[in-house]
Each structure stands twice: as C-alpha cells, then as structure tokens.
C-alpha cells in the first residue's frame, strides 16, 4: 500500500502544471555585483525569446546539460 502525504501530492500537482522551456543557450559572464561576487547570465536564442520574456524576473529551476562536444 502506498501512502501519499499531502506535501507530496501538492508537489506532484505543482510539478504537473510547471511550464517547461527547453533551448540551447550559453551561460556568459555578467561582471560582478556590488559585493564583488561574479554574476552570470543565460543568453536566450531569438526563437524562444517571446516564451522566456513572460517569465523574466521570476524564480526558475535551471537544469544544465553540457553537450558531448563540450568539456
């Protein structure tokens, strides 16, 4: 018998409704913040720019997969 907690069910429902945008982009240096820590940016290709613009400024989950030809 599988017991599902309310917390797990809420996570599963939220995950099911998450929007996913997949693209091949580049992570680039964006200088330093006011504390001197390195900052980075993700360059988004033109063909997905409209999709990404509606989530700009929101917290997102980023999963990075390096292509085989990268080291």
If you write DSSP's letter for every residue of the chain in order, what string do you get?
-----HHHHHHHHHHHT--------EEEEEEE-TTS-EEEEEEPPGGGHHHHHTTTTS---------TT--
Alpha carbon distance 71, 62 (integer Å): 19
Residue 17 pLDDT grade (very low, low, confident, very high; cuts 50, 70, 90): low
70 pLDDT higher than 60:
no
Task: Give me the pLDDT at residue 22, please.
Answer: 85
What's the average model confidence in pLDDT over 34-53? 89
Predicted confidence (pLDDT) per residue in 19-41, tens digit: 788 888 889 999 999 999 999 98
Task: Give me the pLDDT at residue 1, please.
Answer: 46
């Amino acid at each position: 018998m599988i017991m599902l907690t309310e917390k797990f069910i809420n996570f599963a429902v939220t995950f099911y409704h998450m929007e996913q945008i997949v693209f091949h982009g580049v992570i680039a240096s964006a200088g330093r913040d006011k504390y001197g820590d390195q900052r980075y940016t993700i360059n988004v290709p033109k063909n997905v720019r409209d999709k990404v613009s509606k989530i700009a400024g929101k917290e997102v989950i980023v999963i990075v997969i390096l292509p085989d030809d990268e080291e």
